[in-house]
């Protein structure tokens, strides 16, 4: 986890971007780093709690961009995922090895 100690090691005026996983960054420590001017800005599309409440402490900052984590929800992404899924179903019923197997 990226907490107060890790944020303190960042260069003053740095920008922090997290599009990986919510909970990766201690949001209370992030707010503290913003309040003391350590960070120039933050961009997040993943959060400890989702959906992000309107009362989230990062909301008032003008140097913070908060967006929903929906890049996989585009029409093109859906077509790509469904094409791969149906191709794997066909491979399964033909007794062939599955593509992109992760276990």
DSSP at 50: S
Residue 94 structure tokens: 């033909």
Residue 61 has a CB neighbour count (10 Å cut-off) of 16
Confidence of residue 62 (pLDDT cuts 50, 70, 90): very high
Which of 3.40.640.10, 3.40.50.720, 3.65.10.10, 3.40.630.10 would CATH assign to domain 4-69? Answer: 3.40.50.720
Q: How far apart are CA 27 and CA 78, in angstroms?
A: 31
Q: How far apart are CA 84 and CA 78, in angstroms?
A: 10
Catalytic pick from 6, 12, 50, 91? 50
Q: How far apart are CA 41 and CA 61, in angstroms?
A: 9
Catalytic pick from 6, 12, 21, 96? 21
> Is 69 tagged catalytic?
yes
Instruction: With beta carbons less than 8 A apart as the criterion, state whether 95 and 74 touch.
Output: no
- Whether the pLDDT of residue 71 is over 80: the answer is no
Residue 68 structure tokens: 């929903």
pLDDT of residue 51: 85
Confidence of residue 3 (pLDDT cuts 50, 70, 90): very high
Catalytic pick from 12, 56, 62, 69? 69
């Amino acid at each position: 986890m990226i907490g107060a100690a890790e944020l303190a090691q960042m260069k003053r005026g740095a920008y922090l971007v997290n599009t990986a996983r919510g909970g990766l960054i201690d949001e209370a420590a992030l707010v503290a780093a913003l309040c003391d001017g350590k960070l120039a800005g933050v961009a997040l599309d993943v959060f400890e709690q989702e959906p992000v409440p309107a009362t989230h402490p990062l909301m008032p900052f003008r140097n913070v961009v908060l967006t929903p984590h929906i890049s996989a929800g585009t029409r093109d992404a859906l077509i790509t995922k469904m094409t791969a899924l149906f191709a794997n179903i066909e491979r399964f019923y033909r007794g062939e090895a599955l593509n992109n197997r992760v276990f």
